[in-house]
Amino acid sequence: MPDILCCYKWVADEAYIRSGSGGDLDLSMADYKISDYDKNAIEEAVLLAEQHGGTAAVITVGLPDDTKGIKDALSRGPEKAYFINDPAFVDLEPAQTASLLAAAIASPIPYDIIICGEGSSDLYAQQVGPRLAEKLGIPCLCYVQKVELNGSELIAHRKSDEGLEVVKVSLPVLLTVVPDINNPRLPGLRDTLAAGKKPVVEFTAEDLPSIDTAALATTATKAATIKRNSRLFDADAAGIEELVQELKNSGAIA
């Protein structure tokens, strides 16, 4: 019966990004959410635990205030959360996040399968999963869209640049999953209430080896939202003829 650990990131929702004065990135309006594809990772962990009688837990690195994310994650089915947090964990780079996860997991946290989303919806650097696998010295399968588990053997269908590869590996393994793997469930009120009662194990900076200094320095960030004139035409025949005329005038169509 496999122990499945799922990593997620609590991120600012990109839908609320505004371009501030001078094109600065304005996140002051932003709401936070579980990174989109990490919801698929949580769902897959829970599905596998349901099918094979194992356990599903989540693990995340964040700021001490990010407890809303823990509750959200637990309402999606996992039975336990590991919360690595410290006020200093601001804008960590993927290598640092992977090191913190690896140190906590080595403490140890039991696992047979670790599941991550293919990339976070904020940085989308797609590094934490593969880096974590290397730190733990376990096999890594990326872009997985289907998983079959037979005892200690896992068969994965993963996306490749040419199409699809079917691969086989013995546990333990780390998977990164693409959104087509499943449809994440929508937690109901009962799930949210139950989530508040599930155990949360905390790790702070003192519990773990000091994090590596950052290898990357951010020298500029700018909003790049796309804004154009948005001239509207009526949906009736006359409006559409007007649009076609406009497109012809602008040379977009012959």
Residues from 67 through 126 that contact ligand FAD (CB under 6 A): 119, 121, 124
Nearer residue to another protein within complex by CB, 53 or 137: 137
Nearer residue to ligand FAD within complex by CB, 117 or 172: 117
3-state secondary structure 78-105: CCEEEEEECCCCCCCCHHHHHHHHHHHH
Residue 144 Cβ, how far from another protein at the closest point, in Å? Answer: 11
Q: What are phi and psi of 218, to 5 degrees?
A: -85, 125
Give SS3 for 212.
coil
Q: Judged by CB under 8 A, does residue 235 bind another protein? A: yes
Candidates 147, 197, 195; CA nearest to 45 is 147
Q: Judged by CB under 8 A, does residue 104 bind another protein? A: no
Q: Judged by CB under 6 A, does residue 62 bind ligand FAD? A: no
Q: From the list 13, 26, 36, 66, which residue makes contact with ligand FAD (rule: CB under 6 A)?
A: 36
Nearer residue to another protein within complex by CB, 31 or 236: 236
Candidates 107, 131, 117; CA nearest to 212 is 131
Whether 27 contacts 223, CB under 8 Å: no
Residue count at the site for another protein (CB under 8 A)? 81
Per-position x/- string for 145-164, each x denoting binding to another protein as judged by CB under 8 A, each - no binding? ----------x---xxxxxx
Token duo for residue 53 = 């009688």
Instruction: Return the residues of window 207-226 that contact another protein according to CB under 8 A.
Output: 212, 215-226
Distance CA 5, CA 2 (A): 10
